[in-house]
Amino acid sequence: MIVTLLAALLQTPNTSPAVLMPLDKWSVDYGNTGCSLARSFGDEAAPVTLRFTPASLGGFTTIMLDAPAGNARQRQAGTAMLQFQPENRTLTADYMSPGQRDENHRALAIRLIGQEIGIWRGVERLAISLDKSPPLTVELKGMHTAISALQKCQDDLLRDWQVDPGEVSNMAVNPKLVSDLGEIFDPKYLRNGLPKGELLRVNMLFTVGIDGSVSACRVIETSGQDALDTATCALSIGRIRYRPARDKSDRPMVSHAVLAVRWPSPPE
């Protein structure tokens, strides 16, 4: 399994786990719906890639590990412990592996709820232990500059969406979806508007009011069909509800939320 695999990458019998050194520079990926920071470590023939993907509107950060597949299981989940050096601080979080990305690699995702990306600026070394296994340790190097570049990407993305980046820093509690999306986005509403056998996704940016209602919708990643994009936004406004965001004075605030809707083909 991947726990055993990652441990095996780091140690040989009767030795302490090794520290994986960087193979390249940090790179920032500007995506349509978010930004990510990535770097590879360890052996060039079998590198381990570490990727930080903060939620574009705050609330959590996902850490992705991409490692050689070995004999890893198809799917698993558990608890990860992260240790930050030099401050020797620890965090625990859930992890899951969606299975084998391809015949050579597997991905593992750790989601840190409520942890903004700025906490990584001073981290020099990160040790990740899965289910009490020996840790995978990486020498991060250059995190302050890398996090600044990632933060610029996020701010640029929000401004492109016409959202003030200050909204995120002022938010203490993110809006929480409370609606049943299955009822709102029932394929019957589109009649014959979906190609048979296709699964199409629309990514939307909502304006969420202090009462939790959606008052505006903007498509930030298209399904490839303008009519489907328009219909999805139309079904959202006034029907989807959130528990409203709260500012640092614990008052409800106007905020934004990103939602991906996947449309299955309607039944025959």
Give the model's confidence band at 249: pLDDT under 50 very low, under 70 low, under 90 confident, else very high: very high
Give the model's confidence band at 221: pLDDT under 50 very low, under 70 low, under 90 confident, else very high: very high
Do 5 and 13 form a contact (C-beta atoms < 8 A)?
no
Does residue 86 have a cis bond before it (omega within 30 degrees)?
A: yes
Mean pLDDT for 190-209 is: 78
Q: Match 């994009």 to its residue by tokens.
A: 229
The residue with greater pLDDT, 66 or 203, is 203
Query: How far is the C-alpha of 129 from the C-alpha of 145, rounded, in Å?
Result: 26
3-state secondary structure at position 248: coil
Query: How far is the C-alpha of 32 from the C-alpha of 242, rounded, in Å?
Result: 23
Q: What pLDDT score was predicted for residue 71?
A: 45
Give, as one character, the DSSP assignment of residue 69.
Answer: -
User: Could you report the per-residue pLDDT of 175-197, keeping only the tens digit for each?
Assistant: 999 998 888 888 776 665 565 55
Using the predicted structure, report yes or no on whether residue 6 has a pLDDT greater than 70: no
Q: What pLDDT score was predicted for residue 131?
A: 84
Q: How far is CA 105 from CA 6, 98, 195, in A?
A: 12, 12, 33
User: Could you report the per-residue pLDDT of 50-96, keeping only the tens digit for each?
Assistant: 999 999 998 889 999 887 765 444 457 889 999 999 988 899 999 98
Give the model's confidence band at 236: pLDDT under 50 very low, under 70 low, under 90 confident, else very high: very high
Q: What pLDDT score was predicted for residue 196?
A: 58
Mean pLDDT for 119-135 is: 88
Strand ranges, E, within 74-199: 76-85, 89-100, 105-113, 125-130, 136-139, 171-173, 176-177
Give the model's confidence band at 240: pLDDT under 50 very low, under 70 low, under 90 confident, else very high: very high
Give the model's confidence band at 116: pLDDT under 50 very low, under 70 low, under 90 confident, else very high: confident
Tally Cβ neighbours within 10 Å of residue 203: 19
Buried b (16+ CB within 10 A) or exposed e, 128-149: bbbeebbbbbbebeebeebbee
Parallel/antiparallel/unpaired status of strands 136-139 and 19-20: parallel
